[in-house]
Amino acid sequence: MNNYNALAKRKQVIAAVVVIIGLVYLTQLFNLQILSPKYRDYADSNAFLRRTLYPSRGAIYDRKGKLLVYNRPTYDVMMVVREMKQFDTLDFCRTLNIDMARFHSLNADMRDRRKNPGYSFYTPQLFMSQLDVEEYGLLQEKLYKFPGIYIQNRTERQYNYPNMGLILGYVAEVDKNKIAADPYYVRGDYVGKSGIELSHEEDLRGEKGVEVLLRDARGRVQGRYDDGKQDKAPKSGKDLTLSIDIDLQAYGEQLMQNKIGSIVMIEPATGEILCMVSAPTYDPALLTGKSFVSNYRQLEANPYKPLINRSVAGTYPPGSTFKPTQGLLFLQEGIITPETRYSCFGGYPPLGGRPACHAHASPLAIQYALATSCNSFFSYGFNGMLGNRTKYSSTSDAFNVWRDYMVNMGFGYPLGVDLPSEKRGFIPNSKFYSNVFKTDRWVAHNIISIAIGQGEILATPLQIANLGATIANRGHFYTPHVARERKGASLDTTFTKRHETGINREYYEVTVAGMSDAVTIGTCRGINLAPLVDVCGKTGTAENPHGDDHSLFMGFAPKDNPKIAISVVVENGRFGASNAVPIARLMMQKFFAGEIPESDKWLETSIMNRVILPYVYTRNVPAN
Amino acid sequence: MVYQGSREIVENGRVDWITVGFYLLFVILGWLNIYAASFDLENATSLFDLSGRAGMQLLWIGTSLLLAFALLKIEVGFYETYSFVFYLAGIGLLFLTLLVAQEINGSRSWLIIGPVRLQPAEFMKFTIALALARVFNTYGFRLMTRNNLLLVSSVILLPVLLVIAQKETGTALVYLSFLLVLYREGLPGGVLFMGMASVLYFVLEIKFSDIPMGFLSKGEWIAIILIIIFSAAMVWNYLKRRKEVLTILFLAALIFLGAYLISFFSVPVDWGIIALMAFSVVCLYLLFLFFQNRKKHYLFILLFMIGSFAFLESVEHVFYDVLQPHQQMRIKVALGVEQDLSGAGYHVGQSKIAIGSGGLTGKGFLNGTQTKLKYVPEQDTDFIFCTIGEEHGFIGSAIIMILYMAFILHLLNLAERQTTTFGRVYGYGVVSIFIFHLVVNIGMVIGIVPVIGIPLPFFSYGGSSLWGFTILLFIFLRIDKSRKRS
């Protein structure tokens, strides 16, 4: 019982603590409310107005320092409803160049809490956005007539070239999800929505500043709080220098007009992307300013889908451009030696001449097989690998080894380019086929078409160009990227890390020789640019179940110490040699010589004038 | 373990009308202030309009009264019998919320059933109190055994962890207020003292972390001196040996005096190292005393000193590496280390201005400008006290403060007068929760405690919290009604 009483005393302790805390709080209340007149002063006549200062978004330059994207001031009309008095609405409308109906709809939109959740009677609300300089001047002059109307400065993107809209991306008002995900943004902020503007948003946007002002109970600004000591200046966004050469890019877009497809050029030594054309494309200036919405709708409705960057988000069967990967892997795994010969009788004999092949000398070794793009050779090799039971315990085992090499060469996963919406392509694993065939007992002959880059294999044009870069480098690559430099910060280390493919250099030399022969005596003689430069290349004709075959080319130049690797994809362009090769030829001439020689002018004109667009059935053709 | 049963329960007692009176007064005042806080000059709604916050709150009050009435009608044995069922159901609900809840304002604590949005964490409070009461009510229960401590702390900590996972750290801290119940039921005061001491070290370390004091920072230096004084006080408290206490203080003072004298001969003295020397000497002396007298107490005091020192050294690491930047900022602002007008400090600054501008008598009902201009965040929920302070001044806010303290002291009396352990423990649970809410909510509004988003019971807008507090309180009144009168 003694113990119980001792514990009962603890009630007094708790009560004492409560009373002491209560007294401390009462003292603080007394201090705040009676002893400190400053709070009364702040509130009675003044209160804080925190005005956001917007930083200017970083500019974007091309690799030669040409200015591509910069900012232009625009002006928003803000309204504080509480301060509005009767004014000449007609005059106001005339100044803003709108009619009364528009005025009323804008006014209703602003007050509608569903459309504008942050609406308040007391604070500045966005009434109308993006006045240009003249409208701004007119309004500024008459502003004294319109109490409650304010003008807020903003900036808008401005473009020097009508090119590479898909790489640059566009900037627009931030949406609800982004605001919820990142507290940096508030309604009305502008944010990168695609391309570089999205992937480098955090570099480009800078950091908002804040100005703490004092205002009276009616909301009028009375001056700075604490002499501006609490203000924070906005930090401008970092300027970006791209690795893109705008002239090359513009030329590529010209070549690809009225076609669907992609050109990607990479500098093998660094992974920098020199040009990335995706056709069709659009002028980035379309997606700025007042006509943003209507232009965007039109682009969205276009059946050829110009808003998709096919270089990273388009996936194609790589066709014969895939064959070098097979040769390299067979050599590395010891399935073949550079001297191993297989015979070809216009097709792959074990399967009765399927896949078919074309006329060339036989039997043939790897170098010549690459030059003539022999289907049988790679089918033999593939069968030899998957059927090799001394080296691998099962077909699945062998196939997974095969797949790991493909992944090391940059296929099957996004490469990690600094552009959004990159696709991974598709490299199947053994599980995939076991599911498809519903048994583990499938063999190489069931899936022979993947040895020649057909079947289930899918790759993006960027991955195909990257393959060119790994061969050019004889066994390694750097993650392709479009941002070359950001001012005041070093490049992300993921772009300076060397990725090895795990295949010996000597085998690459064999492959390079084969690709060089393809240009001099083989399938892509159309790109023989000697004596300007020794080109190595590989054509591809990818079977397309939906229409004409796709025309592909993958290559690099010069043969020794390569400066560029390239991939060209022309959808429905039929043979690799008919469209992709001439386009690659012109691009290389542009790159190495700076201009197209007189002798090739006819080719340039012919390519530019070609229209290769499939018929697309659309139910609702847009009115315009 | 034998269940103590209902021998001491009387069925025909009276409801404690004083508490009910407090309750009604608080909800009505809360309702009026919610109306004032959400009052919009442009489209003023009436007090009863269901599209406004005040109208909705009236609905919550009405349903709460029905709930209260029902709770008083239920047989008292029901609460004892089903206390674990309630508790487990609450835990299940917290789990469910964690799984299905969508993120609202950064936390996953809302359960949405059709038009109704519930926050199960609010209802968890009374179930923990019931479960604790039931645990303590087993025959011959003694808190200070290992198994029992383990049981009691897991009853409290399980919901704490679940609520932290929902990112409602504030509510999780509320559950920790049950420590006060444990204190009443026999947890040694030393444990609470250690808790207080750690808070003190933390504050010192963070507040004065960037003022160097030789080898140490000023905060650490003061803390080390405090540790020496605490240990001397502990020797006095547990062993009552004046000579040894004086020796400890003398040894420490001697070292500081020596250093002070040396500094006269223009020898640079590192006060940080001097403090560490004094600390080590006291430690060695305690070790010596232990070997001389063979009393465990010395060893414990020595452990306390070393533990305190280790805690002190780890605070900085925990603060900067474990806490989120916005949490660091809130703590720094509350300690006055940093003036951050754009973030955490903005809210506190605005709420202080709103309260401060009320003056002695306030601006009058519906005339507050700071809250109307929407400077104060969450003005009808967590920051409702701002409206009271602004519109009713020091007189109004002091009256509310005093009424609230009176309410809590009254509940404390009710809790202590319970004749069953079950009733007493539950009562102390109720008291602890109200104390915590009052101290933290008003403390944050007047800038003494870091901003932790918890409501002011009965005043803040919100159905879940009002229902939660109503259930908490009226179960206690039901238990109190049936206590044995002497």
Residues 383-422 of B with CB under 8 A from A: 389-390, 393-394, 397-398, 401-402, 405, 408-409, 412, 415-416
* Residues in contact with A334: Cβ distance below 8 Å, sequence separation at least 6, in sequence order: A391
Q: Is the pLDDT score of A44 beyond 80? A: no
Lowest mean pLDDT among A464-473, B300-309, B406-415: B300-309
Q: Is the pLDDT score of B42 beyond 90? A: no
Residues of A with CB under 8 A from a CB of B: 7-8, 10-11, 13-15, 18-19, 21-22, 24-26, 28-30, 32-34, 36, 38-40, 42-44, 47-48, 50, 81-82, 120-123, 180, 210, 212, 217, 219, 225, 230, 232
- pLDDT value, residue B369: 66
Place of tokens 């700075």: A224
Does B51 touch chain A if contact means CB atoms closer than 8 Å? no
- Put simply, the answer to whether A34 touches B341 (Cβ < 8 Å) is no
Q: Is the pLDDT score of A489 beyond 70? A: yes
Region A51-71: mean pLDDT is 89
Q: Is the pLDDT score of B4 beyond 50? A: no
Does B341 touch chain A if contact means CB atoms closer than 8 Å? yes
Please indicate whether residue B453 or residue A560 has the higher confidence score (pLDDT): A560
> pLDDT-derived band of residue B331, with 50, 70 and 90 as boundaries?
confident
Residue A614: alpha-carbon gap to chain centroid = 26
- Both tokens of A222, joined, read 């009375």
> pLDDT-derived band of residue B154, with 50, 70 and 90 as boundaries?
very high
Please indicate whether residue A220 or residue B310 has the higher confidence score (pLDDT): B310
Does B355 touch chain A if contact means CB atoms closer than 8 Å? yes
What chain A residue is nearest to B428 in terms of C-alpha separation?
Answer: A11
> pLDDT-derived band of residue A479, with 50, 70 and 90 as boundaries?
very high
- Put simply, the answer to whether B401 touches A21 (Cβ < 8 Å) is no
User: H or E element: which one contains B17?
Assistant: helix B17-37
Please indicate whether residue A582 or residue A50 has the higher confidence score (pLDDT): A582
Give the closest residue to A173 by CA, choosing from A302, A294, A287: A287
Region A429-448: mean pLDDT is 90
> pLDDT-derived band of residue A623, with 50, 70 and 90 as boundaries?
very low
In angstroms, the CA A202 to CA A4 distance is 64
Please indicate whether residue A47 or residue A597 has the higher confidence score (pLDDT): A597
Cα of A13 to nearest chain B Cα, Å: 9
Q: Is the pLDDT score of B145 beyond 80? A: yes
Q: Is the pLDDT score of A45 beyond 90? A: no
> pLDDT-derived band of residue B6, with 50, 70 and 90 as boundaries?
very low
Which chain A residues have a beta carbon less than 8 Å from that of B353? Answer: 39, 42-43, 47
Q: Is the pLDDT score of B341 beyond 70? A: no
- pLDDT value, residue B54: 87
Cα of A120 to nearest chain B Cα, Å: 9
Does B144 touch chain A if contact means CB atoms closer than 8 Å? no
pLDDT in tens, A518-529: 999 988 888 998
Chains A, B: CB contacts within 8 A come to 124
- Put simply, the answer to whether B350 touches A50 (Cβ < 8 Å) is no
- Put simply, the answer to whether B394 touches A29 (Cβ < 8 Å) is yes
Percent of chain B with pLDDT over 90: 39
In angstroms, the CA B146 to CA B328 distance is 35
Cα of B78 to nearest chain A Cα, Å: 27
Region A322-344: mean pLDDT is 92
Q: Is the pLDDT score of A194 beyond 70? A: yes
What chain B residue is nearest to A36 in terms of C-alpha separation?
Answer: B356
User: H or E element: which one contains A566?
Assistant: strand A564-570
Please give the C-alpha separations between residue A327 and each of A377, A451, A502, B143, B175, in angstroms, as whole numbers.
9, 10, 14, 76, 67
- pLDDT value, residue A168: 94
- Put simply, the answer to whether B357 touches A121 (Cβ < 8 Å) is no
- Both tokens of B132, joined, read 């604790």
- pLDDT value, residue B156: 93
Which chain B residues have a beta carbon less than 8 Å from that of A9? Answer: none
- pLDDT value, residue A138: 87
Percent of chain A with pLDDT over 90: 51
- pLDDT value, residue B178: 92
Please indicate whether residue A229 or residue A185 has the higher confidence score (pLDDT): A185
Which range scores top for mean pLDDT: A216-230, B98-112, B148-162? B148-162
- Put simply, the answer to whether A18 touches B401 (Cβ < 8 Å) is no
Residues 165-204 of B with CB under 8 A from A: 180, 183-186, 189
Region A20-29: mean pLDDT is 92
Q: Is the pLDDT score of A235 beyond 50? A: yes
How large is the angle between the packed helices B271-293 and B242-264, nearest 10 degrees? 150
- Put simply, the answer to whether A47 touches B402 (Cβ < 8 Å) is no
Q: Is the pLDDT score of A225 beyond 80? A: no
When CB atoms are compared, the residue of B375, B398, B431 closest to A47 is: B375
β-strands A498-500, A476-478: how paired?
Answer: antiparallel
In angstroms, the CA A419 to CA B35 distance is 51
In angstroms, the CA A152 to CA A124 distance is 10
Which chain A residues have a beta carbon less than 8 Å from that of B429? Answer: none
Region A341-355: mean pLDDT is 85
Please indicate whether residue A13 or residue B40 has the higher confidence score (pLDDT): A13
- pLDDT value, residue A182: 80
Q: Which domains does chain A have, with CATH numbers?
A: 73-153 (no CATH), 258-280+311-577 (3.40.710.10)
Which chain B residues have a beta carbon less than 8 Å from that of A12? Answer: none
pLDDT in tens, B454-475: 899 999 998 889 999 999 999 9
Which chain A residues have a beta carbon less than 8 Å from that of B183? Answer: 10, 14
Q: Is the pLDDT score of B167 beyond 60? A: yes
Q: Is the pLDDT score of A617 beyond 90? A: no
- Entry pTM: 0.58
- Put simply, the answer to whether B341 touches A39 (Cβ < 8 Å) is no
Residue type, A252: G
In angstroms, the CA B265 to CA B279 distance is 24
Residues 362-381 of B with CB under 8 A from A: 369-370, 372-375
Region A572-582: mean pLDDT is 90
Does B30 touch chain A if contact means CB atoms closer than 8 Å? no
Region A264-291: mean pLDDT is 92
Q: What is the phi/psi pair of residue A224, to 5°?
A: -85, 145
Cα of B337 to nearest chain A Cα, Å: 15
* Residues in contact with B275: Cβ distance below 8 Å, sequence separation at least 6, in sequence order: B213, B216, B221, B224, B225
Which chain A residues have a beta carbon less than 8 Å from that of B186? Answer: 7
Lowest mean pLDDT among A3-12, B328-337, B386-395, B435-444: B328-337
Which chain B residues have a beta carbon less than 8 Å from that of A7? Answer: 184-186
Mean pLDDT of chain B: 85
pLDDT in tens, A110-141: 877 666 666 766 667 788 877 878 888 888 88
- Put simply, the answer to whether B186 touches A123 (Cβ < 8 Å) is no
- Put simply, the answer to whether B439 touches A21 (Cβ < 8 Å) is yes
In angstroms, the CA B448 to CA B432 distance is 19
Please indicate whether residue B104 or residue A62 has the higher confidence score (pLDDT): A62
pLDDT in tens, B191-237: 888 888 888 888 788 777 777 777 788 888 888 988 998 888 888 88
In angstroms, the CA A424 to CA A314 distance is 10
Which chain A residues have a beta carbon less than 8 Å from that of B431? Answer: 14
Region A360-375: mean pLDDT is 90
Region B255-262: mean pLDDT is 89
* Residues in contact with A367: Cβ distance below 8 Å, sequence separation at least 6, in sequence order: A338, A510, A513, A514, A517
Mean pLDDT of chain A: 87
How large is the angle between the packed helices B421-445 and A10-30, nearest 10 degrees? 20
